Amino acid sequence: MYENCKVIDKNKSRILNKSEQKVLEHITNSDCLSRSNVFPKIRVADVFPITNSGIKRELYSYALKAHFDFLICCDNYYPEFAIEFNGPSHLDPKQKIRDLMKVELCEKFGLPLGKTLFR
């Protein structure tokens, strides 16, 4: 079934870059997260009940477009916390605004957000 997994298909995008793949492997092999489920690139709007939540239109729109780098869920598949890896692009003023929107959403809906600088 997976004979073609090693073939690069130029009609599809790779889901994780090599750095993200290494981080995912590290997280999933971690003893402290052995009973957790790790999901890369989960859309913010799929984690939070944003419909009729009273958030500003700008946050609502952002939640539909943004994703968490990694979402950690307990064994019942409810989110426990998210992890963001912020590289050099997060120094850009526009990106900083988007980062603050993600923090605001996490605070509103009670999801801890861990951030790590990634160089």
Considering Cα of 36, then 41, then 46, then 47, what sign does the dihedral take?
A: positive
- For position 119, what pLDDT does the model report? 57
Average pLDDT, the chain: 87
Mean pLDDT along residues 81-107 = 89
Tokens of residue 15, six digits: 């889901």
Does 5 have pLDDT greater than 60?
yes
Confidence band, pLDDT 50/70/90 cuts, at residue 118:
low
Contact 35, 75 (CB under 8 A): yes
Least confident of 29-33, 84-88, 112-116: 29-33
Domains and CATH numbers, the chain: 15-117 (3.40.1350.10)
Does 77 have pLDDT greater than 60?
yes
